[in-house]
Amino acid sequence: MFYGSMVPLVTPFTAEKDVDHRALKALVNWHRQAGTNSLLVCGSTGEALALSAAEQYEVLKTCIETADGDLPIVAGVIAATTPYAIELAQAAEQAGADAVMPVAPFYCKPSQEQMFQFYKTIHQALNIPVFLYNNPSRCGVSIAVDTVAGLSELPRIIGLKDATSDITRCTLIKNRVAKEFTMLSGDTLYMAGFLAHGGDGVISASANVAPELTAQFVRAWHDQHIDLFNHLIYRLMQLDRVMFTEPSPAPIKYGLSLLDKINPDVRLPLTTISDTCKNDVKNVLLNLGIL
């Protein structure tokens, strides 16, 4: 169920900074048509930390109802404490999410044993699959290979999103887990190498504005169309670089606004991107034929 291109969906806002459910439905339908394999909703690209728990639930419900079973929906769980992580995860299960993806607990910098217990406790509180999410640049800690291997033995922990520059971790983990354990790259700049090291798919924020290219890229690897694969990774790297010149997802939302998909609005502490970044985003979309 979870492979290929899993897009970490942005959360569109109105000019008044309310969730724009109409635009959200249109985005989900666009991804259904573009070949996206699944959606990650209310993750960091979805500005989950700027959404209340009630808003996250409503965003999930809108995406699940709109996808109507055609696109698996994974709920992001971003919480620094175990009780709040369980609250968000259980709400996602109630909303009908196909899986949850709790990020490693941030700020407190837990030990490996403490991270193991964090994920084990969430796992025990749910009846749906759980993805691990390793993002040391944001969390301050990294889920070690040994910890991933140990957690993979729990029956409903089914995969890992690994947002690191160390593509060798994919091979090391693949050799320690069951064949069905899903490995997803969380960094576009390293996703080509990640796939070559045994990865099953990618979670690319830039796929919000280039869903067809990203889905084609992953298919090209698995079909061993290497010339197409090399062509697409060069294009996607150009896109990804500009989409992270200022804090994400502000550049991504501006790109989507150029495509008439959503408003460019973000919530504080993020702000709309600078004029220089706007020009860069527009130019790369034009150069790549997306705009």
- Active-site positions? 133, 161
d(CA 291, CA 274): 19
Category of 39 on φ-ψ map: left (φ > 0), alpha (ψ -120 to 50) or beta: beta
Q: How far is residue 249's CA from residue 46's CA, in Å, rounded to a whole number?
A: 8
Q: C-alpha 204: how far from its chain's center?
A: 6
User: What is the distance between the alpha carbons of residues 214 and 59, in angstroms, rounded to a whole number?
Assistant: 24
* Widest pairwise Cα distance in the chain: 49
DSSP strands (E only) in 9-126: 38-41, 73-77, 99-102
